[in-house]
Structure 1
Amino acid sequence: MVIFLLIAVPAGYIVISAEQSRDSGQSKEEEAAATGLYNDFPSKVQQRIYNVPVPAGSTPVYYYESNAWHRSSLYVQFRTNEWGLDHYLKWAGTSRAALKDGEITITGAQAAKVGWDLASGGQWAGTSLKAEGPGPSQRITVNFDDPDHPVVYVVSTVAFKR
């Protein structure tokens, strides 16, 4: 009986560890293979690199990261409240005053990449932030159809020097 336990317990541990490890790898693989928006908050590292600090309490939140040799972009969509919008814009380095009414700053190609339909009417406002030094450039577009809960669309791009 003792010999059986000496073999069974470590074997069980190995099976459980392997399953947990495989599950972790599968979720990372699914995220990397995603071709559209991922329903979750971007990681804290992504929010920091791309300067897209999604306000707490925002829901739903979607994101997609596109990586290439010369540039990487983070696409983020989230619904927030007035406080969240003001704080997000402040953290991003701008303000609500910089939003231009009727302006959709995200290009059609960028919107199509993640399935956003930004051209179909609505109350839009947007602004663009140019990169300073190694920081990201951002295109921010906000839908104010529900002014108490605006939907924020951001494409933040980091360009790498060749």
Structure 2
Amino acid sequence: MAVIVFLLIALPAGYIVISAEQSRGSGETKEAEAAATGLTNAFPSKVQQRIYNVPVPLGSTPVYYYETNSWDSSSLFVQFRTNGAGLARYLKAIGTSVDALKKGEVTITPRQAAQVGWDFTGDGQFAGLREHRDTPQPSQQITVSFDEPGHPVVHTVSTVAF
């Protein structure tokens, strides 16, 4: 009988302790994301990828992201290295193609690039495109660096206006 009473008390108490610890950890993660002032070395969450239409291809590495929010818009900055097939999959998933990239064009503004420390000056091999969509769909500015053959680095700024 004592064992049953003990279990009736201990199991719910253990569950409460575990739940509290998980909840606390989740809050700390969200607090760290909110305090970020630049690119974070991690995949954006699935929700962020869906909201901003930035489906980072599996196998991309390294992946960095940064989210900004204001009263009238929110932007997700994403950078990742992939291969030719990953680039084609990514562009197809957002509704465009590799053929739409314009060689020599940097579509991310210097102001946007400065927010996250990107530098598109110099002799890099860049190609870019803009995908403008009506609100509430996100619009994207994509600049791809082809400096390392076979391993393009994709820079995307996806903005949702309210």
Counterpart-to-counterpart distance in 2, 1:59 and 1:23: 25
The secondary structure found in structure 1 opposite 2:32 is: helix
Percent of paired sites with the same residue: 69
> CA–CA distance in 2 between the matches of 1:48 and 1:27?
20
Distance 1:135 1:22, change over 3 A: same
Contact preservation (8 Å) 2:60, 2:82: yes
Task: Identify if the C-alpha distance between structure 1 residues 135 and 16 changes in structure 2 by more than 3 Å, giving closer, same or farther.
Answer: closer
| Stretch moving more, 112-121 or 76-85 | 112-121
Q: Tell me, what secondary structure is at the counterpart of 1:42?
A: coil
TM-superposed CA distance for 1:151, in Å, is 0.2
User: How far apart are the structure 1 equivalents of 2:62 and 2:33?
Assistant: 18
1:135 pairs with 2:110: no
TM-score, L = length of structure 1: 0.88
Distance 2:135 2:26 in 1: 35
Aligned to 2:70: 68
Q: Which runs of 5+ in 2 are unaligned?
A: none
AA in 1 matched with 2:118: W
Displacement, 1:14? 4.6
The 3 A distance-change label for structure 1 pair 13 and 96 is closer
Whole-Å Cα distance in 2 between the matches of residues 140 and 150 of structure 1? 12
Residue identity matched to 1:28: K
Q: Report the equivalent of 2:30.
A: 28
Within 2, Cα distance between the matches of 1:11 and 1:50? 40
Closer, same or farther: CA 13–91 of 1 in aligned 2, 3 Å: closer
Please tell me whether the aligned partners of residues 135 and 160 of structure 2 are also in contact (alpha carbons under 8 angstroms). Answer: no
RMSD: 2.1
Q: Give the drift of 1:19.
A: 3.2
1:79 maps onto 2:66 in alignment = no
> Do residues 19 (structure 1) and 32 (structure 2) align?
no
Residues 1:53 and 2:92 are matched in the alignment: no
Aligned residues: 160
Amino acid in structure 1 at the alignment position of 2:102: K
Matched, 1:120 2:122: yes
Offset at 1:17?
3.9
C-alpha displacement of 1:15: 4.5
Post-superposition CA distance 1:96-120 (Å, at most 9, x none): 1111111110001101111111213
- Counterpart Cα distance in 1 of 2:89 and 2:23: 38
Q: Alpha carbons of 1:26 and 1:129: their partners in 2 closer, same or farther (altered >3 Å)? A: same
Task: Give unmatched runs, 5+ long, in structure 1.
Answer: none
How far apart are residue 13 of structure 1 and its match?
A: 5.5
Q: 1:153 to 1:20 in 2, by over 3 A?
A: same
